[in-house]
Structure 1
């Protein structure tokens, strides 16, 4: 009875807590909903305000522009504009913030806006005309939008303002009052949103627009807040439970009626009371039966002890209450206490540590934990445990119920153990053999079943097509077009059937050793371009992105079996296309690395996709014959499961390695590494005379492609820059052109994310003109866009992957060489501008730099004298010789007197001609701040080293007005 009462109290408490928890959860969800609704309202209100202010700013800016164009801001013109744009008023202010003209519906608006006009925000616009100011505010009880911009016709400010209607339900806007109107809350709850002392939104009509104090009167003045703690309210309408929270600037109240909050607790408690009475009566009946059962169990216990005595080496009785251990039968490992056949707990611990192996000790202690034995034996008749001893024997320990107290509770158990080493070792060996046999059988069975299923399905599919279309062709033998169509489909199905048979035969030939590798000289570009041609149709049909590029490929001709290498790569690439969904990406990369074997090189082929990927388990067996992952068959992708097995065998026969990295849903990457003998044929790497030292710009959204092409350009002694952005390429082309350091060649990728290659070419042509060669680099067929590209200014096309031999070939084509020669002639023509007779003084402390600069200047007809330091230049210009010079080229960093100091000294000379002689800085300091510093020191120009005749001529043109 005590237990039932205690359980009843516990159930009551738990259900009360559960209902409170449910109430809290409901309150939290309700407050979250309330918060969301309030935030939606505020976002709506804010967006409405922002849109209104932006429209007002546009109107004000437009008016400022109109006034500047027409030079007219008379009152009539302002009245007309305000009426057309639905403005309340317009103010025109001068730079002293005085109103010189206005139009308004409310008379003189100057007092209305005087404080805002004098604010820092508005004043700041006079000093910074690019700034603007907008705001929404309440002025004299009315709501206005206000905007201020700088006048474009003169110094001053133009202000426009418009009166706004209050947000309400009449004009169709979202309002606070309508947020919860007639909204049904769970458990018929009540929600009230208060702004200070007024209820602004609620789902109870009787509380709409009432004050908080007025609402409190309905609850007998006990309407109070409570944070996250549930508040109990008593009112004329009954008891309510809920709480109050602060949400932004509002106080939110949510309450629910008591009878609905605790309906679960009250119902269950009534049911429990009836059930507890029945349990108590049933308990009395069972107790009488338990006493009779106890006698029978004692008899059974004696029989168990007698039986165990013959089979087990040691037997003990354990009292569960006192944990005393009485030895019934001892083994050689047991050491009873001196008091008799009683084993103490300390001796038991010592015995376990000495006998039981360490890995099993913790589990053994858990098994012999007498505090849990009674509970464990409630579900089992006996408990058993097997452990290994320190001398590698196996013991089995068994716990059997032995005695019960008068209440029927277990108080004594029998613990026995026996040696079962032989049985355990036999069991382990048998289990191991069974597992190995099972794994081998399952693997063989799976491979066999998968192969038969796949071949049955894959062969029947084209066979059905062949048989079906043959029957149709026979039926429609008189229709030539239909028969031709059916024959084409029969041919397609036959080719597919033939490929399946070839896979099986190839695997059979490989396993029989009849396949031989035939080594010949192979041109790598031919293999990759052939592969691209073969797979282009499949890639295009699935709208996939195909990227093929090379990196550090020095040997384009290698000795290998071309047919088998193509077969390996085609198998891998075909799988990439097949298992990559529509719109996916396939990246093929060829990389060359040095090889330790003399006369050999390491060629690495990488094929990466972002397709369906493979599980880690299948990656381990992807090269096994007939292996197909279940996701492939589920997706209906055809195949025999032999392709990768054939690929692996061919790679092995060529002495290479193949590895795979994959992740389900993210894609797969296959890498083939081959050590190939290099051919005696080498790629021409000598420079092209017209392009030796010329600048080139590479544009591709893949940085590694840019670096690879740039490296090829440097191989033929060109200067290469690169960028991954079409927009940046246009900027760099413009910058180079303005600095007379134009790029002679542009190599631009066709498809780029920010700006495609054709548009990039079009914009570069607008900067550099028609002379420079611009080559489009693409992995796709360019025939569809060739006309558009030519019109945009493209001079040549080249396919990816790009090799050095192909790049050099396209640059040496007659068309490109003619463009380069025209460009060079243009530069030579510029260099022939005559400045013969001009005498210049070159101030340079470095002997080599003096020699180079003197040679360049003399080539363009200048008479050059030299000075080794700034002091020498000042002395020369101070003497009579100074008037003989037309120009000074001044180095900046010199040991005795730097160029800045020398320039300032020359500018103070008495001779007007010498003091005003043009001085051009010629320095390695090439930054913008260095140029500004030179101008500040009194120089007329700035040339960054290394110098060129074109740059010198350009500066001479600026100085002498050419």
Structure 2
């Protein structure tokens, strides 16, 4: 009888485990269905604005002011769509692979100020106030600047988004600590709509979004805060949040950062920043891109700056064109990563391996939709000098070329 009872008990335990597993699967499927439904809505919203604005812009005959307004709407909606896609891809990567951090020396005051300058312009346009204050004993620190900017962008963009006209957002950056290691404390405080006590525990959960009656619908994935939490944890830091509905929200981050040893002050003057036309004018550019529309737009942008462009539609063609050119003919190669026949990394490696003097010295810059750290590592290993993301930002490209020239 004991054996029968044990058998029944074991079967019941297995049944309970199966039921729990089935409940988990159902919950996962429901979450996925809700997520894809939200993503479909959030992608269609800016897409519908883009499509409608294109049609309306076509109908304007000589009314450049209205045409310019429609172009601005297209730009804003395209930026929203790009951020949406980047957030989804970023979270997917973080869930599957360990986040790799770099350790760059930087001036914390300069880096934060530069990161927040677009928000200052946004605040002026929207009649809001953005106050940024610093109290730094050792401004020069080692930190992953890209990831810290990502944290700031998420926190400050949310603060600006949910702060009403006439209200303010405050960012405070301070330091404390002993000797080489500093604890950086960043406070982002707004006087916006706040977060409800019910939603607060879910704030850092991927895909979670608060929908309160009377709150304006905001496009987003519900991934921004989950990404922030992941990065802060990887940096061995902490993030705390305090919020009161209709009063505001305060985020407090503490992140350990090693100080950069002090060096003698350089008296050399900072070189004057030149315009894209000044940098690219007269340059011979080899542009490798398999997507015809991107190739056409990239070519036109470069030509507007006075560059002479040679087109390649895959990596193999780019290698062939470089091989057939006279030594020193091309001033720079702009290389897509994902191309048929031969990808950008393989093409860059093949060019670097050629037995000609300019093969080792010609600047090769990755121009790609892939903006993740492992992609940047792959391009560097292939012999590329720099990595910029699509769409081509001519000012960023010019800046990279100026850095390489030095």
TM-score range, shorter chain: 0.5 to 0.7
Tell me by how many angstroms 1:438 deviates. Answer: 8.5
Corresponding position of 1:657: 238
1:528 maps onto 2:109 in alignment: no
Corresponding position of 1:616: 197
On the 8 A contact 1:600/1:678 being kept in 2, the answer is: yes
Q: How does 1:877-896 map to 2 (within 5 A)?
A: none
Q: Distance in 1 between matches of 2:121 and 2:133?
A: 19
Q: Distance in 1 between matches of 2:52 and 2:126?
A: 28
Tell me by how many angstroms 1:568 deviates. Answer: 0.4
Query: Which SS does the other structure have where 1:635 is aligned?
Result: coil
Corresponding position of 1:539: 123
Query: Which SS does the other structure have where 2:106 is aligned?
Result: strand
On the 8 A contact 1:557/1:682 being kept in 2, the answer is: no
Tell me by how many angstroms 1:683 deviates. Answer: 10
Q: Are residues 678 and 453 of structure 1, via their aligned partners in 2, closer, same or farther at CA, if it must alter by over 3 Å?
A: same
Q: Distance in 1 between matches of 2:222 and 2:148?
A: 20
Query: Which SS does the other structure have where 1:630 is aligned?
Result: coil
Corresponding position of 2:395: none
Q: Are residues 487 and 503 of structure 1, via their aligned partners in 2, closer, same or farther at CA, if it must alter by over 3 Å?
A: same
On the 8 A contact 1:451/1:641 being kept in 2, the answer is: no
Q: Distance in 1 between matches of 2:46 and 2:20?
A: 39
**Residue 590 of structure 1: which of 170, 173, 176 is its match?**
173
**Residue 627 of structure 1: which of 208, 212, 230 is its match?**
208
Query: Which SS does the other structure have where 1:661 is aligned?
Result: strand
Tell me by how many angstroms 1:592 deviates. Answer: 1.3
Tell me by how many angstroms 1:460 deviates. Answer: 0.9
Q: Distance in 1 between matches of 2:184 and 2:63?
A: 54
Corresponding position of 2:47: 463
Tell me by how many angstroms 1:472 deviates. Answer: 2.3
Corresponding position of 2:156: 573
Cα shift readout 1:524-543 (whole Å, capped 9, x = no counterpart): 11123224412113323443
Tell me by how many angstroms 1:432 deviates. Answer: 8.1
Query: Which SS does the other structure have where 1:631 is aligned?
Result: coil
Q: Are residues 631 and 431 of structure 1, via their aligned partners in 2, closer, same or farther at CA, if it must alter by over 3 Å?
A: farther
**Residue 93 of structure 2: which of 509, 515, 528 is its match?**
509
Cα shift readout 1:820-873 (whole Å, capped 9, x = no counterpart): xxxxxxxxxxxxxxxxxxxxxxxxxxxxxxxxxxxxxxxxxxxxxxxxxxxxxx
Query: Which SS does the other structure have where 2:183 is aligned?
Result: strand
Q: Distance in 2 between matches of 1:605 and 1:443?
A: 37
Tell me by how many angstroms 1:661 deviates. Answer: 2.2
Q: Distance in 1 between matches of 2:172 and 2:27?
A: 35
Q: Distance in 1 between matches of 2:183 and 2:204?
A: 23
Tell me by how many angstroms 1:626 deviates. Answer: 0.8
Corresponding position of 2:229: 648
Tell me by how many angstroms 1:615 deviates. Answer: 2.7
On the 8 A contact 2:185/2:253 being kept in 1, the answer is: yes
Q: Distance in 2 between matches of 1:519 and 1:573?
A: 23
**Residue 141 of structure 2: which of 533, 558, 565 is its match?**
558
Cα shift readout 1:196-227 (whole Å, capped 9, x = no counterpart): xxxxxxxxxxxxxxxxxxxxxxxxxxxxxxxx
How many residue pairs match? The answer is 257
On the 8 A contact 1:447/1:627 being kept in 2, the answer is: no
Corresponding position of 1:16: none
Tell me by how many angstroms 1:554 deviates. Answer: 1.0
Query: Which SS does the other structure have where 1:603 is aligned?
Result: strand
Cα shift readout 1:11-63 (whole Å, capped 9, x = no counterpart): xxxxxxxxxxxxxxxxxxxxxxxxxxxxxxxxxxxxxxxxxxxxxxxxxxxxx
On the 8 A contact 1:621/1:627 being kept in 2, the answer is: yes
Normalized against structure 1, the TM-score is what? 0.25
Corresponding position of 1:842: none
On the 8 A contact 1:557/1:679 being kept in 2, the answer is: yes
Tell me by how many angstroms 1:491 deviates. Answer: 2.4
Query: Which SS does the other structure have where 1:616 is aligned?
Result: coil
On the 8 A contact 2:99/2:234 being kept in 1, the answer is: no
1:488 maps onto 2:66 in alignment: no
Cα shift readout 1:665-711 (whole Å, capped 9, x = no counterpart): 33222122111111012799xxxxxxxxxxxxxxxxxxxxxxxxxxx
Q: Distance in 2 between matches of 1:495 and 1:482?
A: 20
RMSD: 3.3
Q: How does 1:871-950 map to 2 (within 5 A)?
A: none
On the 8 A contact 2:154/2:225 being kept in 1, the answer is: yes
Tell me by how many angstroms 1:446 deviates. Answer: 5.6
Give the gaps of 5 or more residues in structure 2.
1-5, 266-406
Q: Distance in 2 between matches of 1:667 and 1:653?
A: 27
Q: Distance in 1 between matches of 2:38 and 2:174?
A: 36
Corresponding position of 1:27: none
Normalized against structure 2, the TM-score is what? 0.55
Tell me by how many angstroms 1:514 deviates. Answer: 7.2
Cα shift readout 1:595-619 (whole Å, capped 9, x = no counterpart): 5xx6321111111223222233422
1:498 maps onto 2:79 in alignment: no
Q: How does 1:205-244 map to 2 (within 5 A)?
A: none
Tell me by how many angstroms 1:449 deviates. Answer: 4.0
Q: Distance in 2 between matches of 1:632 and 1:682?
A: 56
Tell me by how many angstroms 1:442 deviates. Answer: 7.1
Q: Distance in 2 between matches of 1:606 and 1:429?
A: 49
Tell me by how many angstroms 1:430 deviates. Answer: 10
Structure 1 ranges of 4+ moved more than 6 A: 428-435
